[in-house]
Structure 1
Amino acid sequence: MKIIDFFHGNGVGENMKHVVITGSTRGIGYGLAREFLLAGCRVTINGQSQESVERSLQSLRKINPDTVEGYAARVDNRDELEQLWIYAEKHFGTVDIWINNAGIDQERKYFWEMAEEEYDKVIRTNLKGVMNGCHVAFNHMLKQGSGQIFNMEGFGSNGMMREKMTLYGTSKSAVSYFTRSLAIEAKQTNIKVGTLSPGMVATDFLRKSLDEHNRKIFNILGDKVEPVTKFLAAKVLENQNNDARIQWLTKPKVMWRFATSMISKRDIFN
């Protein structure tokens, strides 16, 4: 596995690629869409509802009204993701990059306190949604003869555990395993499969975990959306490798953040 980290430069590589991003009407997904547009790409965004898609399109079209489209689809429904691909291909042609970003958090409960509907929804979105996206994109990219698929990592991908995060961490741990194994299978094809690791990003998703105990850690290790998504988008456009892990918060960066935390105070939530 090739690790691509923060210290390896920021060139954007070849532009005018077509990028499809699931769960891209807000947060990291929206930030990625914005950065790909700024890099000159054509982008198809996705959200669960047509209202959220239209709202995001209004903003993104201020960058370039001719290079962004959107389609509402639920990632836990493979047929709807099939229609997302068809829609994207109809408007912008070949899909060069497909990013499975859509995901939901769990309620801050112990696992045994959760109803079946709650944990079923998290697994269907975070894990089956990724599998559906990979299945749709991989089969179409085989017909194209090329393409790249990236899956979004998160808490649990590195084996970290925390109370009342068991279900979410399980889903992301499974996504990491699935992606690495799929990359091995993809070696016999022209399709490249990899992961994006954004670290701790100041989204509504992260704010749900805030309390006085972990706010300090988040301010040391976390970042606002813009620098993270700018870095990730640039590295995706540069990538030529199968099984790439594009990682923002690397071990050297973590060490540097802690070493300078006493003299450099940060507040990523303001």
Structure 2
Amino acid sequence: MVSPAAAYQASEGGALDVDRDFYRRLADGKREMVDSFQIPIRSGRAWTVPRGHLCRLVTVEGPQVGDLNVWNANDPRERLWASRTRQLQRAHVSTYDRLWSTLPFLRPLVTVTADTLADYGVDGQGGRVHDLLGTRCDPYVNRMLTGEDFDFHCHSNLVRAVLPYGLTEFDVHDVLNVFQCTGLNDEDRYFMKACPAQPGDYFEFFAELDLLCALSTCPGGDLSVPLWGPDAGDPLEVCHPIGVEVYRPDPELVASWAPPQRAKYQHQHGLVAPRWGD
């Protein structure tokens, strides 16, 4: 059976047409590391990435899922729009895909430049990696399903991470689940599988704008142990840190690049201002 065509199609030179040669040169070209740190298990951290820089997330010790939020550092009302990114790109992103921002901005926040799991493809159960289908685990759902409180779900980790930047729980939004393997089963229900990443695997992106990023190291670790249901357990033994590296590319590589402009729609929405005196 032939699959239907994607609803949102790229046209040559249009907004969805990515200059792959440019991003390939960035991935392969000279760079200077300007920041590096690790996020411990079951915690979160926020950091900034200047526009025109690269950021790499690394499974330094073993498989580990990370929940990523992204904002425009200069105006956090502009942030990752996971559902529109699913439509404009795909439900699981990889090299040359972009993460798009919310209305009324609607522009790329990042472009993925490198992904060592790109060859994972689709497994025999329909699983794919780097997931935009689901969202962060949170203490509210956990309480609903288990009757217990747990303060180190990804939502809570992200809340704590962004507080020093003047943001609150209301600013935490739907995530990119980096290194997470997911899909939809025969009942069209969301499933999660064990993370296939190995030590040293990485997911790298180019900052199209000045960014504030926040990442939670999921308390489920590599997700090989269910968090809910009859087989649920404590996955502490399968939790690992995630490394973060920020790089400044060689200036020659970005000499012709310019940050994307916000959407050109004029925000009228069919409303007509009154004309006094008519």
Interval containing the TM-score (normalised by the shorter chain): under 0.3
TM-score, normalised with respect to structure 1: 0.22
Q: Which has the higher contact order (CA 8 A, sep 6+)?
A: 2
Q: State which structure, 1 or 2, has the greater radius of gyration over its C-alpha atoms.
A: 2
Report the TM-score, using the length of structure 2 for normalisation: 0.22
